[in-house]
Structure 1
């Protein structure tokens, strides 16, 4: 097969443009609705919790909206495949599976992130105006000098992993992909937890308080003798989290951040390529 049959820059650009022309009204409406919902949620959070005074205090709300809106939006990808007539039209469009997949991938990652950040920015600015009129004091933008907020950027890596997982779920499950993907995710986590519990019991059962004192890839909470009381000849016990050494979990974290999303996207692409209606 010729490379041009798999990916053509000209054909990909034409298909991407067609997708935007066909759906720009939906995306504009989504931006307006998302901004309104975020504004309502921010005002509710600020008025319900008077201690919110800085942008850093809004990070939890930002992340909740990012995950909820992003994963719901991703779960709507390839919805045409759940309907026979729409699925046939989708598969017969003059573009390769890779070009269709890349279009959806760009829309649900870069496209969504751009729209979400614009919506959140508009919601924050509108909320600031309302708060200033009500209290006379706007929110303080402390993100530039608040070093304690730097660590929250790891959530972007986690979001990309979750997005890739939900995109794969939309290809595998034609209907109710959101619910089925979440169910599969919890089954996977439960399985990993139980497998880790078995190995933890095998190696540390004498030192663990109970079988639940562990978490996969994090560590095992064990009891160790701390000191001996001479008059009672008994040990006082203390809990110690036995964690993976840094040289072990650093590669795991790097793999999770940079390799898991591309792997899941690749699996989703090959599943889409073999899709039948």
Structure 2
């Protein structure tokens, strides 16, 4: 078989892989839907119970959405990525996987397609659909408009039951868009590099690395600032929060590309 990249063979491999991973993906989405519905259902139930005994306007009814979306989403991408190549750690299954008539590049691109494009798209769509259903139902039962006074004495109308995709995003959020891709690259590498318990070993390695890096950074900063006098109006490149976040974004993108590259090289060298 030729190891030269072939688009038609890539499409065939993607279709073939769906037979293997499609059922697992659908089961994971059902579990996710259950978690989303449980959170929304519990908070809505609590709201209606409180409404019977008081004047609850549901101001903080959906305060759980942002942390749930972010934390569960990052966890989901790590689980999917960390298990994609787990069969390579089992000799009998590894032989079958390595004998698939496709180049290593096509296999790696297929893994990116399923663990990044399909996973993130399905997660976003599922969360938005559940949010749309619950918020639409609540908006059909009443209104949660609150009036607040601004600094000039004017009145501002605030809708507490807006859809998740209409929420105002933090101006710093785009600087962290690299995070799910970085986690994908890291756990994808771990699923290839380790023979067993790939997810656990990768997670432990990541935690240890972050701890060492954080302690080292704190120690270096302490050494640099000991016996120095801080200036209240310090200026400089690193005193601008946007500059620091831009550096963080660049580092995140570079690390993602490095880990993807290492994962591909490790896949090329993989033998039974």
Same fold per superposition (TM over 0.5): yes
Match of 2:162 among 127, 137, 140: 140
Aligned-partner Cα distance in 2 for 1:196–1:253 = 14
* Counterpart mapping for 1:34-183 below 5 A: 34-45=32-43, 50-53=58-61, 58-128=65-135, 131=138, 136-137=142-143, 139-141=161-163, 143-144=165-166, 147-183=168-204
Q: In the alignment, what sits opposite 1:185?
A: 206
Distance 1:152 1:57, change over 3 A: farther
Q: Is the 8 A contact 2:128 2:165 kept in 1?
A: no
Distance 1:270 1:45, change over 3 A: farther
Aligned-partner Cα distance in 1 for 2:243–2:163 = 38
Q: Is the 8 A contact 2:237 2:243 kept in 1?
A: no
Q: Which runs of 5+ in 2 are unaligned?
A: 48-57, 145-160
Aligned-partner Cα distance in 2 for 1:86–1:169 = 17
Distance 1:26 1:136, change over 3 A: same
Please state how far the C-alpha of 1:99 moved relative to its aligned partner: 0.9
Please state how far the C-alpha of 1:274 moved relative to its aligned partner: 0.9
Matched, 1:17 2:41: no
Aligned-partner Cα distance in 2 for 1:189–1:30 = 28
Match of 1:262 among 214, 234, 257: 257
Aligned-partner Cα distance in 1 for 2:40–2:177 = 21
Please state how far the C-alpha of 1:103 moved relative to its aligned partner: 0.5
Q: Which runs of 5+ in 1 are unaligned?
A: 208-222, 227-239
Q: TM-score, normalised by structure 1?
A: 0.75
Q: Is the 8 A contact 1:36 1:123 kept in 2?
A: no
Once superposed, what is the RMSD of the aligned Cα atoms? Answer: 3.2
Aligned-partner Cα distance in 2 for 1:42–1:199 = 45
Aligned-partner Cα distance in 2 for 1:258–1:5 = 28
| Structure 1 residue ranges (4+ consecutive) displaced by more than 6 angstroms after TM superposition | 240-243
Q: Secondary structure at the match of 1:95?
A: coil
Matched, 1:273 2:268: yes
Q: In the alignment, what sits opposite 1:26?
A: 24
Please state how far the C-alpha of 1:184 moved relative to its aligned partner: 1.0
* Counterpart mapping for 1:243-254 below 5 A: 244-246=238-240, 249=244, 252-254=247-249
